[in-house]
Structure 1
Amino acid sequence: MIELIRLNGQLFMLNVLLIEQIEAFPDTTITLVSGKKIVVKNDLKEVYSLINQRYKEIGLISIYKGLEGS
């Protein structure tokens, strides 16, 4: 789980394994595997960094980096 900030300033936790894609429209929009979209105040690079940090902590970083190059 990573801590993010909704547009209204509310903090929430998001399971990184449910994230399908992240885009900037210019607000950072996270699309989950369910199709649900969440707009956050955090910028794209910050969310990317938080995801990588969490993947390292749970031992999935090598899998994630492998997918990044495909």
Structure 2
Amino acid sequence: MQGNKSLKDRMQEYKALKDRMQLNEALKDRMQRNEALKDRMQGNKALNDRMQGNEALKDKMQENVRE
């Protein structure tokens, strides 16, 4: 027949739980940084698309000048 867990066992479980909670917080922080990075990448893609549009417009203007 097994009795109640010893104080030592409960303290070890508490420490393991505390460690897991810290890891979860670190993971949450990484996920937030990844979201911010994803937003920056979308902004960079939009800027890149605008720059390509500007290049196409510049090429068209040069063609019109030549004609």
TM-score (norm. length: structure 1): 0.27
Structure number, greater radius of gyration? 2
| Bigger fraction of residues in strand | 1
| Bigger fraction of residues in helix | 2
TM-score (norm. length: structure 2): 0.29
Higher RCO, Cα 8 Å, sep 6+:
1
